């Protein structure tokens, strides 16, 4: 009997479902899109029920097209976007839309947190800066602005744990998503109930924590009816999308680094000890006894998607990549700041905005396309350099996400960062990571090392070019100087 595992990815713009053979090959996959809502300045929210509807449809599609018997699916893993705050009552009803990772409405609540507990004490516990995009300030926002929702809530879940709840009925949270909660002990991997109370959070609202590969339940009758899955199929806790993508790219040992090219950008550096820096993001890896020092940016592949939708909707992403190749490195002086929804690490400015600099009548949309690619690469370099200043070393980068399909963009990132970049199966790294968690959890794989050795294959290698690196070194200096000079003006404007 063939053995398969199912990976579910709850992304920002769409959910992806992929069915994997034990060797990592994709038997079938499907995508379902859903909207992001922007009801007020600084707000970005989604309806979790849209996620569930999309997941159900995508699973049905995968089962129908794969020809695989549902009884041959050994287990299911779910990954999801970070920093949700899904308010759910004890019966499993969603009480309101959830703010997502790019939402910055909870600024006043961050001030409230600092008044309650000194920032350095919180940082020592959770290893992360106090920012409105994180999950706990959003829960306090419910408490202050939607008290009826807060009163009715039994638990506040993350995106992957919401899908796990829909599949199994269990309220859970995996350790890799704990970093969005300032009452999470980043060294011990557990809730600090005393800190939760000091921050004004009832510890009973915090779901029980599980290792990411731990089986937390089984597909129940209702989920089996909605999805077509076999009732009783094991479901593991799952994890953060960036962490699952890191696993799916084969990054499991200290010093290995994943470069993220999805809707958001950034990097995830695997480390084997607690190492926090206030300019970066620290989370547990989905692999036990490992952490991820992350640089997360708002302007990854989403910046190019925005440019396509607004400037060249008739072009495919492959055609845009071809156009970018017609422009020399440095985009002939056009520089792009990719701060399309404020910016996360390492500048942490919710008021930061996107900027094109150096435009003129001789510039074309090809210049804009390449400048966007270069700006995203500059943001990656900024995070890589910040990690180095924190004492963490990045060597070869493993690229994942849709952006890695562009040979031009991946080479730009290699030249800007001065790093060798390896590209495995970029489109499926995140769902593969979720599926690997499922496989390890039920014994399909004996270890994470055996799992990645069996499933992850490098398809392309990009080496940095010395001459182009010099051009980008100058461009990077302009990129950094632009933000430093424009930041005061950004701080004065109203966030749109």
pLDDT tens readout for residues 429-480: 999 999 999 999 999 999 999 999 999 999 999 999 999 999 999 999 999 9
Taking residues 305-320, report their average pLDDT. Answer: 97
Strand partners, 461: 422
HSE on the CB side for 101, CA within 13 Å? 27
Structure token digits, residue 116: 């309650």
Element (H, E) at 148: helix 147-152
The CATH H-level (homologous superfamily) assignment of domain 251-423+465-496 is: ATPase, nucleotide binding domain (3.30.420.40)
How many CB atoms sit inside 10 A of residue 55's CB? 26
pLDDT score at 299: 87
| DSSP structural state of residue 351 | T
Which carries the bigger pLDDT value, residue 338 or residue 299? Answer: 338
pLDDT digits (tens, 9 = 90+) for 249-268: 999 999 999 998 888 899 99
- Report the percent of the chain where pLDDT is more than 70: 98
Q: What is the mean pLDDT of residues 420-424?
A: 95
d(CA 417, CA 188): 33
360, pLDDT greater than 60:
yes
Domain pair 4-241 / 251-423+465-496, same fold: yes
Select from 131, 482, 102 the least CA-distant residue to 297.
102
- Residue 493 pLDDT exceeds 60: no
Long-range contacts of the stretch 28-33 (C-beta < 8 A, 24+): 28/61, 28/62, 28/63, 28/65, 28/66, 28/68, 29/62, 29/428, 29/431, 30/57, 30/58, 30/59, 30/61, 30/62, 30/65, 31/58, 32/57, 32/58
Name the band, by pLDDT with cuts 50, 70 and 90, for residue 393.
confident
Other C-beta atoms closer than 10 Å to the C-beta of 489 total 10
CA gap 352, 185 in Å, rounded: 30
The domain limits of the chain are 4-241, 251-423+465-496
Distance CA(99)–CA(134), nearest Å, equals: 10
CATH code for the domain defined by 4-241: 3.30.420.40
CA-based Rg of the chain, rounded to a whole angstrom? 21
Alpha helices in 169-263 (DSSP H): 193-198, 221-227, 241-248
């Amino acid at each position: 009997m063939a053995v398969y595992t199912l990976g579910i990815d709850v992304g920002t713009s769409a959910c992806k479902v992929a069915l994997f053979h034990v060797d990592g090959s994709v038997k079938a996959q499907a995508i379902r899109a859903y909207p992001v809502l922007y009801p007020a300045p600084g707000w970005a929210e989604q309806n979790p029920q849209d996620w569930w509807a999309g997941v159900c449809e995508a699973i049905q599609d995968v089962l129908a097209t794969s020809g695989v018997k549902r009884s041959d699916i050994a287990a299911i893993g779910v990954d999801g976007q970070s920093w949700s705050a899904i308010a759910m009552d004890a019966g499993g009803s969603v009480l309101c839309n959830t703010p997502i990772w790019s939402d910055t409405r909870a600024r006043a609540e961050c001030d409230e947190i600092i008044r309650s507990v000194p920032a350095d004490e919180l940082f020592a516990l959770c290893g992360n800066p106090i920012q409105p995009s994180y999950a706990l300030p959003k829960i306090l926002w419910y408490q202050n602005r939607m008290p009826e929702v807060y009163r009715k809530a039994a638990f506040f879940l993350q995106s992957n744990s919401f899908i796990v709840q829909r599949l199994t009925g269990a309220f859970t949270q995996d350790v890799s998503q704990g970093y969005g909660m300032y009452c999470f002990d980043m060294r011990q991997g557990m809730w600090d109930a005393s800190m939760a109370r000091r921050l004004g959070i009832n510890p009973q609202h915090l779901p029980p924590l599980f290792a990411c590969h731990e089986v937390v339940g089984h597909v129940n009758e209702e989920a089996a009816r909605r999805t077509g899955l076999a009732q009783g199929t094991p479901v593991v806790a799952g994890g953060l999308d960036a962490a699952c993508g890191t696993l799916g790219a084969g990054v499991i040992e200290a010093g290995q680094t994943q470069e993220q090219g999805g809707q958001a950008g950034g990097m995830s550096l695997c480390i084997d000890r607690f190492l926090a820096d206030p300019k970066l993001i620290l989370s547990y890896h989905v692999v036990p006894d490992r952490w991820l020092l992350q640089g997360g940016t708002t302007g990854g592949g989403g910046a190019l998607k925005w440019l396509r939708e607004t400037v060249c909707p008739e072009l495919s992403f492959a055609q845009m990549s071809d156009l970018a190749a017609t422009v020399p490195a440095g985009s002939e002086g056009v520089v792009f700041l990719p701060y399309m929804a404020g910016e996360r690490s390492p500048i942490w400015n919710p008021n930061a905005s996107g900027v094109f600099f150096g435009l003129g009548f001789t510039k074309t949309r090809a210049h804009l396309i390449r400048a966007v690619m270069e700006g995203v690469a500059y943001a990656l370099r900024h995070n890589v350099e910040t990690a180095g200043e924190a004492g963490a070393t990045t060597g070869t980068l493993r690229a994942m996400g849709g952006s890695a399909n562009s040979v031009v963009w991946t080479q730009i990132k290699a030249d800007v960062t001065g790093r060798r970049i390896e590209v495995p199966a970029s489109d499926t790294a995140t769902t593969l990571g979720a599926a690997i968690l499922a496989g390890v959890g039920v014994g399909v794989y004996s270890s994470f090392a055996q799992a990645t050795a069996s499933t992850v294959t490098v398809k392309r290698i990009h080496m940095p070019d010395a001459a182009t690196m010099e051009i980008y070194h100058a461009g990077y200096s302009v990129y950094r100087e632009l933000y430093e000079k424009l930041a005061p003006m950004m701080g004065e404007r109203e966030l749109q």
